[in-house]
Structure 1
């Protein structure tokens, strides 16, 4: 991992990063990131800038080109960029956690290449088609100029290229040419005959290549090359080559790919040759045997010419096993003349291991067997042996025979068996899971790696459906892949397979359907998954630390603001005390005004905090937003000043919405003040309402449920916001205004209030083009409440005789103030300090006309619980909750039952008196 810090992106890193940094260490320590990684800066600049603006970035298998070993080399990395903030909350740097995945990427590509090559070659039978297709497949994949396959003659003197592939016409083809093998030079030939892959990055700089040979290579466009030799039966039989006209550094992956392609090409070409030769020989054998049998039976007079010209061995064998006659093919095939054949028994020419079997067959002809067929080995004159396939027909004491040389067919069959054994060995020894399934997901065959990785033996899996091993959460994904298999190549799939011990392993699959079956290769990636999960957890931990840092900043800002307000309150009270002691009562109003102003600002701050946390208690009412906006128009115009033109656009037939009108008024005023501050030189402010019917797509973009909404939008022609500022605008204490011009809680309060009301707030802005903030509130299917025109006009009478109010609050000062207010109004006040004490009074026969209680009470019973319990005994009891932290869970998520009301601390004494009168007399 590494960290960059500050405007210059100072660079610090840990020891494991040295493997990536290479020769740049130690000079890179403390340097600038742009300079140190100048070669990759264009690729990661956007990612770095994204992280430095506060947004984390994660990339998997990200391609880069680094200078390694003195040359540019493609590499792949998985990494994350996470912003790091200072104590003020500003992004000053970023943390990168990185791992190099070059090996994995190249291995996956190589495996995919080889699987694709196998698919391509499997459908071809002609050797020329096989070698041409393999050369093109390899050349295109490696981005080479030329690729080809050359056969080498038995004397290892000449290499012949039937077909090759070239990238374009600028590189000449070598097809159809036979070149002397010694044209490679002695050192190179020695490498190839030893079975080592030849890798030349620049023929002029390679010590194995003389200057003369280098010039020859350069003239045909192969200054850099890779040649894979194919050694069979101890002899160099063929080569697969890749050429490049300019110097090139070949990677180990390139070498492995060329060698793997060479082996697969040889196997496919030899398979095609063997199958073709076998078909040809079988056809010829059937034809010749039919002719021979007919000729022998019919004693055709044309035997003489056939006898002389036939490439097959013919002869007449007497009862002692000597050839009384033999045709010239004996000398052509085995080197024996007619005279030499007449002097030897066939048992003298046979391979010792074939004597007994041949003697038994010969004896059958003496016992009346009409015809015999068998194969055995005959000794050539030079001492070697060749396989001969015989047909013998006895007649008149003689056995008339015809034999065909099948040595080459035998050799090809043995090689085919050897290749089959090699494939079986690969199947048995592969560390990856190999399997063959049908389209129903039933295993037909599995390799031993299943036992190593998952603990199951082959016989336990064959006949089992794949869904019996899959983790339940991955079954749907796996079945979908099996369905798609019928249409072609399967997609890459990662899923979890059950181990025999009951645990699960992650397997990454590559598979391809063919001939009604699915051939699959699975790589065990549980460790890689665990590593990725560890990386994710590390990033989660980092994000959590950043959140805790933000909480610290919020707490510090809150403490700072409250200390200032408490200083104003306590200082004013102290000065009042001093002036009263001095008898200077005329100066008390000054300090009283200061203390009340500070307390109001403190109350406003707590209301904004509760709004942001969406925990304030709302008093929603059916509201006509048009009427609310019209009522505030004059206040808005006075607030924004004459330099700003205010336009009110109210929608006709506007729906009602269920919302707290006081909170909505505060939100509207805050938005207008923000708009004013964004237009210091004047401009236009527009307040607009509308009915909005949001379909599924429109609702999803606003993070709302589909349905009907009332929108209230405030737009300005001011400075606008950048996307980064819009992204943080609703954060608490975030503000772009100068110190003293705003707390940064206005928009967060609006956001919390609107979300708690079931709606959403959205900002649309561009720098220099102005800003529009829209509040979306759910439609209320009903009429808005009419304004209470008589409110406040008639004086409320004092308490009647005996009217009593129970006051429950754990704060003595609050109880004292409420009791004094009640005494002023003529009520009898009963006080209680906690819930159980209050409930005891409420469950007695004492007259109680109103309960005034705090929500948060000690004694194991809060105010809401006490009120609910009291209403079991007094169903019509009126309740006024007074609270400084109104938890929605206690107040039924902000909604009160009939007869219950709430007053938020701190409150004006006049407001308390007014609410008590309203509850007792109005309701």
Structure 2
């Protein structure tokens, strides 16, 4: 193809036509470069073509920047669509996630229907996982940033890797003195698991897969997907001995829904690497890749370090209560699901479908805590509702729920005093823990500590 291009351009110059074209070349050191050639013909006194003169400019950097901008635009558009779809899915998932747990407790042990309940739960969990990937892509997934150690997450990932054949070797090389990073553990877990699945697919479960961590100082580094700024990082490397990534495919690998799997293979969602990219960016990190066709691929992830220490976590139990709770949600299914879960925990539950009705209800019927949906398109949202309630009841407790995080509104509600954010679909465990944590919280009023 390159030869044909050069021949055709030379033929034009022989006709007296100046030519401009881009060409990809491989340098003597094996580096890929893109050049812009601007060449004009030369003729002798008898108008015979005797050669050409012109300029050649290396535009590799400019082309990489253009590709990065186009990739960002594609990710933004795909993320917008994915976020909306995931929000709708979350509402539909609510009964699938919540009701099996309630049904199980109503059935005797060894009842034949229990196996079907387990199938429903497994399927719902898988759908929820895909939905979480869509939410992550849409930058609407909510997670708290806390100090964590990458080695701990990798150890957990390894435990979740099943059905490893004898033809595949998985090895870890984890730094003993690895610095902590700040992030969401479940999102980082998803990133590493996606990279492992991607590597296994590339090797068809035949070869060597290595996961490595190290403390890494970047002085000057330029990668395929942008420059990594100078600084201190924890670097994660996932390498495989698979088929490698061809140069013509490399610019597309982070695109949402891009996959090289054919219809004869088990197709994935095509979200794997785009999710990796989205999560790494959300953690102020960077991604780079090295690959050689026929030899394998290495993915490098750079996460900024933190010097904050890890917090010890105590397992939380499912504990209910008898307090009064008002559920505010514009979706009838969500209200019904939340109501059933809360009544199962022993609470006295009321429900309304809008912020306006919630305000009127609370004025006449004081509540111990509110369960507020954040997004209610047909009226005032959760944050605005809470703000209006606080005007006549400054000590009102509340918990925010939503299918995705609208950062501004959620942050506003949390700053107003809302105790926690719970992501839909709700489960008995998550709602129970959040409620008791908020209801049992100490309050400081005029420097006097009291319990509500």
What TM-score comes out, normalization by structure 1 length?
0.37
Aligned to 1:815: 335
Partner of 2:382: 863
Give the corresponding residue for 2:321: 799
Cα 1:893–1:249 change in 2 (3 A) is farther
The yes-or-no answer on 1:650 pairing with 2:169 is: no
C-alpha distance in 2 between matches for 1:632 and 1:694: 27
**Aligned with residue 625 of structure 1, among 150, 169, 175:** 150
1:729 and 2:242 aligned: no
Query: Residue 883 of structure 1 aligns with which residue?
Result: 402
Alpha-carbon distance, 1:661 to partner:
0.6
Over 3 Å counting, the alpha-carbon distance change for 1:704 and 1:822 in structure 2 is same
Select which of 829, 833, 842 maps to 2:349.
829
Instruction: Report Cα offsets for 1:731-767 as digits up to 9, x if no partner.
Output: 1111123443311112212211221122122222211
1:553-564 pair list within 5 angstroms? none
Pairing partner for 2:286 from 730, 748, 760: 760
Taking the aligned partners of 1:894 and 1:841, their CA distance within structure 2 comes to: 20
Secondary structure of the residue aligned to 1:43 is helix
- Alpha-carbon distance, 1:645 to partner: 2.5
Query: 1:371 maps to which residue?
Result: none
Matching residue of 1:613? 138
Equivalent residues, number? 384
1:706 to 190, 214, 230: 230
Partner of 1:43: 6
Contact kept in structure 2, 1:618 and 1:895, CA below 8 Å: no
The alpha-carbon deviation at position 878 of structure 1 amounts to 4.3
- Please list the CA deviations of residues 774-818 of structure 1 after superposition, one character each: whole Å capped at 9, or x if unmatched: 2222222311222x2x414xx555415xx2222110012211221
Matched position secondary structure for 1:607: helix
Deviation at 1:869, TM superposition (A): 4.6
Provide the secondary structure at the position in 2 that maps to 1:65: helix
- Larger displacement relative to structure 2 (592-601 or 848-857): 592-601
Pair 1:868–1:633, CA change in 2 (3 A):
farther
Q: Secondary structure at the match of 1:616?
A: coil
| Pick aligned residue for 1:746 from 272, 289, 294 | 272
Map of 1:783 onto structure 2 = 309
The within-5 A match list for 1:1-400 is: 41-43=4-6, 64-66=10-12, 72-77=14-19, 143=44, 248-249=47-48
Alignment match of 2:373 (pick from 854, 858, 866): 854
Task: Tell me: CA distance 1:877–1:766, structure 2 relative to 1, closer, same or farther (3 Å).
Answer: farther
d(CA) in 2 for partners of 1:894, 1:627: 33
Aligned residue number for residue 772 of structure 1:
298
Structure 1 residues 726, 875: CA separation in 2 closer, same or farther (over 3 Å shift)? farther
Q: Distance in 2 between matches of 1:913 and 1:783?
A: 28
CA distance in 2, matches of 1:779, 1:593: 41
How far apart are 1:894 and its partner, in Å?
12
CA separation in 2, counterparts of 1:894 and 1:693? 39
Structure-1 separation of matches of 2:275 and 2:269: 11
Distance 1:736 1:868 in 2: 50
CA contact (8 A) 2:147 2:309 kept: yes
Q: 1:64 to 1:867 in 2, by over 3 A?
A: farther
Matches within 5 A, 1:465-614: 588-589=113-114, 591-614=116-139
Residues 640 and 673 in structure 1, CA contact (< 8 A), matched pair in contact too: no
Query: What's the CA shift for 1:920?
Result: 3.0
TM-fit CA distance, 1:660: 0.5
CA distance in 2, matches of 1:864, 1:627: 36
Decide whether the 8 Å contact of 2:234 with 2:304 is kept in 1.
Answer: yes
Q: Higher Cα Rg: structure 1 or 2?
A: 1
SS of structure 2 residue aligned to 1:723 = coil
User: CA–CA distance in 2 between the matches of 1:811 and 1:664?
Assistant: 31
Q: Could you state the TM-score of these two structures normalised by the residue count of structure 2?
A: 0.71
Partner of 1:648, secondary structure, is strand
Q: Tell me if the contact between 2:399 and 2:420 (Cα under 8 Å) persists in the aligned partners.
A: yes
Q: Quick one: structure 1 residues 613 and 820, their matched pair in 2 at CA, closer, same or farther if it must change by over 3 Å?
A: closer
Q: CA deviation at 1:887?
A: 2.4
| Contact 1:699 1:706 (C-alpha < 8 Å) held by counterparts | no
Cα deviation code 1:830-883 (max 9, x no counterpart): 3221122224455x3854333212111134422233334545665665433222
Q: How far, CA to CA, are the matches of 1:798 and 1:779 in structure 2?
A: 39
| Separation (CA, whole Å) in 2 of partners of 1:605 and 1:896 | 31
Aligned to 1:682: 206
Is the contact made by 1:879 and 1:899 (CA closer than 8 Å) also made in structure 2?
yes
Contact 2:12/2:19 (<8 A) preserved: no
